[in-house]
Amino acid sequence: MKNTFGNSIALTLFGESHGAMIGAVLDGLAPSIAVDEDFIRSQLSKRRPAGKISTARREADEFQIVSGVFEGRTTGTPLTILIPNTAQHSKDYSATRSLARPGHADYTAYAKYHGCEDYRGGGHFSGRVTAALVAAGAILLSALKQKGITVGTHILSCAGVSDTPFGDLSAELEKLNTLDFAVLDADRGEQMKAAIEAAAAEGDSVGGVLETAVLGVPAGVGEPWFDTVEGVLSHALFSVPAIKGVQFGDAFEMVNGRGSEYNDQFYISENEIKTVTNHNGGVNGGITNGMPITFRCAVKPTPSIFKAQETVDFMKGESSLLELKGRHDPAIIHRARVVVDSVTALAVADLLAQRFGTDWLGE
């Protein structure tokens, strides 16, 4: 079972939704990186459920760092974070043990692990595990910020309601990283919340699109073929539950235009090489060109809904009808935003460590 991402800086995730705890191990970190536990708590709070637009499951996410940190800084040895699960309702899943929930990994997990998997709440496939990812990502986001690199994401669209696209990235990312519901237009954000609540009232769910930007990555990072910046980031991003598509820059819009419209022309400003536009999302030939890295992620509607759905009992080999009970999110996009920031930080940190050496992120 492969649960590790990264080459120079590697992250391993472990735990299940209804197990005793979840956690993460970060290996390959430079020594001397400051570990701000208050910032970790702040990041975890952005992933935590809130109000009618989220699940009723409330976890405190009281994490503990049990190795790799001494006197507030990384030691350079493996850093381990543990987060206890304290709000499990395992009985909610016993009645549907062998029913394949549409859109979930129940059947594929059974096919791979031969019935030995922990099925409760999705087990190891659950979005609950992303709490450990966010805790680890917070350490990397802090380290990148010390090097002048910032990451930020907003909800570009949700349930048919669109936010303002990115513009002045430096100011916008700073603003977004203070928000729990990450939108640039507050009024549009309220419309999104209303649409999520409306879906929840009908026992249904909605999805949307996240837009992310990374500022400050120098030119020359990435590889030309199998470890392109787009390839490494996509590898990490597709590990986030519910993400079903990734595009860099204006990828899908480009197909309806011409090269003269979408080529990013170069110029020099204060001895720095820049591009007039950024349709390619800051990447040429798989390698960063010094412009902001920009991409969008398609987040599908949460598969756990309260409407009756046709399915199969994969143990009995017969058709069945599924009517879910329990606690489920009518939308996951607002909580996924900080998870996307976290995996982005992991992928970017690993790319930079490969380019400049493993000690580069240290202070």
Evaluate whether residue 42 is within a structural domain. yes
Evaluate whether residue 139 is within a structural domain. yes
pLDDT given at position 126: 87
Give the number of other CB atoms < 10 A from CB of residue 265.
Answer: 9
Tokens of 292: 């902001």
Task: Give the range of the structural domain holding residue 230, as residue numbers without chain letter.
Answer: 4-356
- In our burial notation (b when 16+ CB lie closer than 10 A, e otherwise), range 13-44 reads bbbbbbbebbbbbbbbbbbebebeeeebeebb
Helix 37-47 × helix 333-356 angle, to 10° = 140
pLDDT given at position 120: 85
235-258 mean pLDDT: 95
Convert the pLDDT of each residue in 105-135 to its tens digit.
899 999 999 988 888 878 888 889 999 999 9
Rg (CA), the chain: 21
What CATH number does the domain containing 306 carry?
3.60.150.10
Mean pLDDT of the chain: 93
Q: With a cut of 70, say whether residue 92 has pLDDT above it.
A: no
pLDDT given at position 344: 98
pLDDT given at position 162: 97
Least confident range of 39-53, 66-80, 143-157 = 39-53
pLDDT given at position 96: 79
pLDDT band at 57 (very low <50, low <70, confident <90, very high): low
pLDDT given at position 325: 77
Evaluate whether residue 361 is within a structural domain. no
Residue 134's closest CA among 13, 301, 294?
13
pLDDT band at 71 (very low <50, low <70, confident <90, very high): very high
Tokens of 51: 């109000």
pLDDT given at position 98: 87
283-292 mean pLDDT: 98
Evaluate whether residue 138 is within a structural domain. yes
Least confident range of 12-16, 57-61, 64-68, 146-150 = 57-61
Convert the pLDDT of each residue in 142-180 to its tens digit.
999 999 999 999 999 999 999 999 999 999 999 999 999
Evaluate whether residue 362 is within a structural domain. no
pLDDT given at position 305: 86
C-alpha 83/C-alpha 90 separation (Å) is 18
Evaluate whether residue 129 is within a structural domain. yes
Beta bridge partners of 155: 210
Whole-number percent of the chain with pLDDT over 90: 79
How many domains does the chain divide into? 1
Q: With a cut of 90, say whether residue 327 has pLDDT above it.
A: no
Q: With a cut of 60, say whether residue 300 has pLDDT above it.
A: yes
Least confident range of 21-35, 44-58, 141-155 = 44-58
Evaluate whether residue 238 is within a structural domain. yes
pLDDT given at position 89: 61
Least confident range of 42-51, 187-196, 240-249 = 42-51
pLDDT given at position 328: 78
pLDDT given at position 188: 97
Evaluate whether residue 363 is within a structural domain. no
